[in-house]
Amino acid sequence: MYDMKNLAKLKQLDAKALDAMKAFSAFDKAAMAAGAIPAKYNEIAQAVLVAAALRAGAAITHGTHAMK
């Protein structure tokens, strides 16, 4: 089971991979931003980008288990 206390280790990821974490954060915000996808393509593209952000976020939060 995932231990929510590991989220405190996100600061370690910031310290060790600051540029990558900044890039992920920017991607995550852009993928979730209102109006980020033109209405014509919104149904498909929004689903793809939200799924990507969620899966990447899961990798990062689960990655905190590796931080000591």
Q: Domain residue spans in the chain?
A: 4-66
Q: Between residues 12 and 48, which one has the greater pLDDT?
A: 12
User: Does residue 19 surpass a pLDDT of 90?
Assistant: yes
CB 10 within 8 A of CB 62: no
State the pTM of this model.
0.54
CB 12 within 8 A of CB 31: no
Predicted confidence (pLDDT) per residue in 28-51, tens digit:
888 778 876 677 766 777 788 788
pLDDT of residue 1: 63
Give residue 22's pLDDT band: very low, low, confident or very high (50, 70, 90). Answer: very high
